Amino acid sequence: MSTLSVAGVQPDIAWEQPETNLTRADDAVARAAADGARLVVLPEMFATGFSMNAQAMASHADTIAAWVSEAARRHGVWLIAGLAVPGEARPRNEARLVDPEGGVRAAYHKVHPFTLAREHEHFEGGGAVFTVEVEGVRVTPLVCYDLRFPELFRAVAADTDLFVVVANWPEARRAHWRALLHARAIENQAYVLGVNRVGEGDRLRYVGDSVLHDPLGEAVATAAAQPGRVRGVVDAAQVREVRARYSFLADRRPAVYATL
């Protein structure tokens, strides 16, 4: 089987209020599962908001992580969710992928902290990318600012059918979010699911624009600037067909690039 029904949840996140956000997320995951989604995605730091109060946010990690595993198990879905977790020198901004039994299959730590918001002073960056096969579809989770670095996507494109980007991307750079998600799908000939939040947090406004692009860059589904979901079906066979028909990735010349 190479098709996967996916749902990206686009919530209004209550600032630094895990209990409120977990309640909202539970309802959203339940509805997505009831509609047939096999992979449900929640945004970056979905239970707290993108707060630089890193140590305090990471102190909720055990509670949030336990909820993520329990929700996946209870609803029988794969679940990707963003949260702050303890690190070595500083906490880390994580996208966690769990299976329908609640087992952690990947814990991706945001490689590129967002220096404009001084995230690098509060969170330490990760150093690895993980791709997990989810019911026949190869899924690679990434986090927000990573979207601006095509090198990261390209490094694992050959082994990825679906990139999932969880984010708290503000309205001020809305056009960038839209353009970069579109570009990452086109240049890597892969599905790209961008899952953002709406509402306000720490004096910033968010308008969502969650979207699923197919391997040709066409928008399969989009979400309006309000709480909701973006839904669609990912087909790994279509990724293979597009790459075979348009051999753009095969025409790359890494040996030349290394000399530049």
Instruction: Please give the DSSP secondary-structure letter assigned to residue 135.
Output: T
233's CB contacts (< 8 A; 6+ apart) are 3, 4, 5, 6, 220
CA distance 93 to 54: 9
Any catalytic annotation for residue 187? no
Q: What residue type is 135 in one-letter code?
A: E
Angle at 125 between CA 119 and CA 129, to 5 degrees: 135
The one catalytic residue among 44, 94, 119, 124: 44
Residue for token digits 């409120």? Answer: 20
Beta-bridge partner residues of 91: none
Helix spans in the chain (H): 18-34, 54-58, 61-75, 150-156, 174-188, 236-245, 254-257
Any catalytic annotation for residue 94? no
Any catalytic annotation for residue 70? no
The one catalytic residue among 16, 94, 110, 119: 110
Token pair for 183: 């570009």
**E strands, the chain, where?**
3-10, 39-41, 78-85, 92-98, 104-109, 132-134, 137-143, 162-166, 191-195, 198-201, 204-207, 211-213, 219-222, 228-235
The one catalytic residue among 94, 119, 124, 144: 144
Radius of gyration for the chain, computed over Cα atoms and rounded to the nearest angstrom: 17
Q: Among residues 217, 212, 214, 242, which one has the least CA distance to residue 10?
A: 212
Residues forming the active site: 44, 110, 144
